[in-house]
Structure formats: C-alpha cells, structure tokens
Amino acid sequence: MYLLTREASPQFCEPIVVRVIRQLDRTTYDGWAWVDVYQLDRHGDATARRALFLMPAGMRPVTVAPIPYAERRRFPARSGGVRAGG
C-alpha cells in the first residue's frame, strides 16, 4: 500500500492511499509511469479502481491495519426520514 501526495504527482493535492495492481506498459516521460491501483478508504477497503499517471519515486509505502467489520464505528441512522403511519 502506498500514500500518494504531490511528491507522486500534482494531481494529488488531497493525498490518497492505494494498493498497486500492476504497472501498465505505456510510453511515458522519463521517471513517470502508468499504474493500475485500487483506491482505499480509511479502513483499507478498496473503493475504486483507477489508472494513474505518477512518479514512482514519490510513492510512500504505508501500513493500514485492517479493522474487522464488527469493530468499526457505526454511525447512527439519520433522523427526519419518512415514517410509516405518521
């Protein structure tokens, strides 16, 4: 897993955490690469698959400890919804 910031590419003004699937075989500028990744949420779960153009030298390895579903914080249901019989 890697943290992508502006060191990897200017497009990452908001840092993201990804799991690399593979490096794509595309012609690029020297020091740049195309990679297929899964973008991860704060729990380490994949939320999107993306192809990114970045500088591998700017990718920072990170460890995201998986949190079992049973231990994750549950958010209360929203109030103000439609109620039956009301």
State both tokens at 86. Answer: 């009301």
Q: What is the pLDDT of residue 60?
A: 97
Distance from C-alpha of 84 to C-alpha of 76, rounded to nearest angstrom: 19
Which pLDDT does position 53 carry in this prediction? Answer: 97
Contact by Cβ (8 Å): 35, 23: yes
Residue 86 and residue 38 in contact, taking contact as beta carbons nearer than 8 Å? no
Residues of the chain with pLDDT under 50: 86
Residue 10 tokens, joined: 């200017």
Assess contact for 9 and 52: CB atoms under 8 A: yes
For residue 71, the model assigns a pLDDT of 75
